[in-house]
A and B are shown apart, each in its own frame.
Chain A
Amino acid sequence: MSLLRKIGAVGLATALTVGTAAAADLALYSDKTPWNAGMTGLAEAASAASGATVKLQEITPTDKYQAFMQTSIAGNNVPAFFTWWNGQQLNDLVATGVAADLTPYWEAAIANGDFSADQQALVNVDGKPYGILLNVANWVMFYNKNHFEKAGIAGPPTNWAEFVEACDKLKAAGFTPINGPASGGWMPFIWFSQLVLGTNPDSFVGLTDGSVAYDSPDVQNAFKVWGDMYAKGYFTNPQESGQDDQKLFVDGTSSMFLVGDWHSGSFVEAGMKAGEDFGTFLMPALSPDVQQSVIVEASPIVVSKAALEANPDLGKGVQAMMGVDAANILGSTVQVYNGNLKAQAPNVIIEANKELVANAKPRALVRWWEAVPSQIQGDLVAAMGEFMFNPTPEQATESMSTMQSINADYWASK
């Protein structure tokens, strides 16, 4: 894109936000193309309940979507409904004052048993909820059952030693143990955060609030383990995945893939049978003394405060989107689980993961991506990515020092 087109795009986005203010239809904006069928269902449910016309508007990819929302909100033209992210991203958004406080709707939903107070905490800012849950996903290790059988692995590993043993057996059987893509501009944080989490969950949290440095001993340990795993050939080459994150998992090259369980639907689409060809397990910590934890990813739908005040009937739409019917629409159309306690699990994998979590009672943590300040998110991921493309001790040192200088700068400016 040329310079002038870029300049034009900024101007145009602002012009657009001014121009559409008087539109009669209300919009539900989303960047989640694969879920369009479910999102349309939600929009229809909200329309039916509120009497307003709510239509799905899709903008992809994610960076363009965020840019559109930023310019819209800066230009004081907030869409009625839009998908967002929790954690710091939600904090930043709520700080602008455009998001509606959804406390009454959450109180009602908890009272009638649709959701729990723990779930509300996923979308809380300063104790008040600012989002309708669209997706609640557990981050688990997917594994290829056929590979495990061929490699002679009895069952899913339950501790780090068993995990390493499984990797070695898979390697010996001719498989690359772990699919390690760096796709989409964000995936490099997956193993970084998992290995810090496995070293010390408190450090994991501390990284995101400025209390722990990115070159602290726990991070150094995580990089050391990560580098050792690369040295032993556990990971696929991220260059070969390119932008297709699941390619090397579904084609049988690699045996395991650590990712959110919203991904299971696309494995099925690629021809793998859920429960038969692949299963899941909770990724164990690096040592038995460290508490088992699980990362929970939640996507909220944010409601415009101004739109809700202008049209109180929209509240009925909010209720409808939090109801069990809406949850079942999401599950049946796009196999997404929004956490509604009365809803059916969309597939066996999500069902099984709920059980895994229920049994192990791990410590649930917000994903690093949402927890870290969004201003430095991209820069930090870039440094992690550099290590994935060049997993040497020297690069590890360089990545850590780069990340820490970005991190220190940010918190110093606060």
Chain B
Amino acid sequence: MIPASAILSPEVLREARHRERRVAWQQTRIAWLFIAPAVIMVTVFLLAPVVFNVVLSFTKWQKFTGLDQFAGFNNYARLFRVPYFSEALGNTAFWVVGAVIFPLAVGLGLALLLRNIPFQETFKSLYFLPRVLAPTAVGAIWYYVYTPHGVLNSVISGVTGSPFDFGWLYSSDTVTGSVIVTFVWQTLGITMVLLLLGLAAIPRDPIEAARVDGASSGQIFRHIIWPLLLPTVLVVTILNVAAGFTTFDLLWVMAGDYPGKRTLSLAVYMYYESFSNGAWAYGSAVAVVLGAMVITVSALLAVVQSRVSKNIR
């Protein structure tokens, strides 16, 4: 490319640049005006609290005092000294895996089944319904499914013919799994709808071409549908990873009576330490670590997602 200065005289170039800049400003100043409130809101209600939280994590604030004392990395060092953090971390990892795999597997199965049937809209709405309920309401409903004399145990008693009163939400073996089932129930709808949208966006022709090319249904899914659906799958995964990392409401409502509830997830641990134990600075350190993990994992997935979607375009 030949530079503009080699073609135009300095006077013409100066005037041309000036005019382009003025027009650009005239065209965008309204836009700046419109996004200003959003920028201010995000700064005040999102960025400022995040910064404040990071600052808190370096203080000694516990209960009423210590807000003005610098603790260095003591709060972070404590994360690895007490057993709770690693326990909560392990449970959170379990959550993240469960929150990603199960909604995806069940949602994909349902989406593939629903794709070609009549009344699709009705089924979609039905599966989507839990999503519009508040998580606390969902938690309250499922609490009664799992109580010793709840729906689940009644069904088991009915089927086996012998009384069954296991406390699903009170045993360390079953509490996390039980709440994950509820999470899946709640998340299934949105996951399925997103996957249905992804499926609808896959052109029919390559699938038919593969059929003619000799592929069985299974091969079509593996070699054509799955690779083309992968960007959608990754978007759903990013959403569910974030949800899994930060799950709080469901656990707090459903497992509120479980004595070991504190370590059910990092979010619960963070809340417990801050709000129940008054360990504000330490709770903030947990929040910082949790936030860093969510951001890191989501960012990695987002990079993978954009690579994958570029590959199929």
Contacts and interface: CB of A to CB of B under 8 A. Distances in A.
Interface of A: 1-4, 6-8, 10-12, 14, 63-64, 66-67, 70-71, 73-75, 92-93, 95-96, 98, 182-183, 185, 188, 237-240, 242-243, 374-375, 378-379, 382-386, 388-389
Contact of A382 (B147, B246, B259): B259
Contacts of A238: 257
B260 A8 contact: no
A73 B249 CA distance: 28
Given A7-B287, A239-B167, A1 B248 contact: yes
Given A4-B50, A10-B56, A242-B147, A378 B276 contact: yes
Interface stretch (B15-23, B29-37, B63-71): B63-71
16 contacts: A1-B271, A7-B50, A7-B53, A12-B49, A67-B275, A74-B280, A183-B257, A239-B147, A240-B147, A240-B148, A242-B147, A374-B63, A375-B62, A375-B278, A385-B259, A389-B258
B246 A2 contact: yes
Interface in B121-166: 143, 147-149, 165
Contacts of B262: 378, 382
Contacts of A73: 64
Given A237-B148, A239-B257, A242-B257, A6 B267 contact: yes
Contacts of A92: 63-64
Contacts of A96: 64-65
A397 to B, nearest CB: 16
A375 B258 CA distance: 20
Contacts of B270: 3, 6
A182 B259 contact: yes
Nearest to B84: A379
B257 A70 contact: no
Secondary structure class of chain A's binding surface, majority of residues? helix
B64 A382 contact: no
Contacts of A237: 148, 165, 167
A243 B246 CA distance: 25
Contact of B64 (A93, A378, A389): A93
Given A1-B267, A385-B259, A7 B52 contact: yes
B227 interface: no
A75 B61 CA distance: 11
Contacts of A4: 46, 49-50
A70 B64 contact: yes
Closest 4 pairs (CB-CB, A-B): A385-B259, A11-B49, A239-B167, A386-B259
Nearest to B270: A6
A6 B259 contact: no
Given A4-B46, A11-B52, 15 more contacts: A2-B246, A3-B270, A6-B271, A11-B53, A70-B278, A74-B64, A237-B167, A239-B167, A239-B169, A239-B170, A374-B278, A378-B276, A384-B259, A388-B259, A389-B171
Contact of A74 (B46, B61, B148, B257): B61
Contacts of B276: 63, 185, 378
B165 to A, nearest CB: 8
A1 B64 contact: no
* Max chain A Cβ within 10 angstroms of own Cβ: one of B50, B52, B56, B277: B277
A92 B277 CA distance: 13
A57 to B, nearest CB: 19
A192 B250 CA distance: 30
B248 A10 contact: no
Interface of B: 45-46, 48-50, 52-53, 56, 61-67, 143, 147-149, 165, 167, 169-171, 245-246, 248-249, 252, 256-262, 267, 270-272, 274-280, 284, 287, 290-291, 294
Which of B259, B276, B284 has most A Cβ within 10 Å? Answer: B259
Contacts of B261: 382
Contacts of B256: 185, 243
Contact of B63 (A3, A11, A70): A70
Contacts of A12: 49
A10 B280 contact: yes
B249 A239 contact: no
B78 to A, nearest CB: 11
A389 B147 contact: no
A6 B287 contact: yes
Contacts of A382: 259-262
Contacts of A75: 67
B260 A386 contact: yes
Contacts of B171: 389
B49 A3 contact: no
A104 B287 CA distance: 46
Contact of B167 (A64, A70, A389): A389
A71 B50 CA distance: 17
A334 to B, nearest CB: 26
A358 B307 CA distance: 80
B265 to A, nearest CB: 11
Contacts of A6: 248, 267, 270-271, 274, 287
A185 B249 CA distance: 17
Given A4-B49, A70-B64, A10 B246 contact: no
A92 B170 CA distance: 33
A240 B257 CA distance: 11
Nearest to B168: A239
Contacts of B287: 3, 6-7
A98 B64 CA distance: 10
A404 to B, nearest CB: 15
Most buried by B among A63, A70, A388: A70
Nearest to A71: B280
A237 B150 CA distance: 14
B298 to A, nearest CB: 12
Contact of B249 (A1, A10, A14, A375): A1
Contacts of B56: 10
A134 B34 CA distance: 54
Nearest to A188: B259
B259 A3 contact: no
B297 to A, nearest CB: 13
Contact of A63 (B46, B245, B249, B275): B275
A286 B97 CA distance: 50
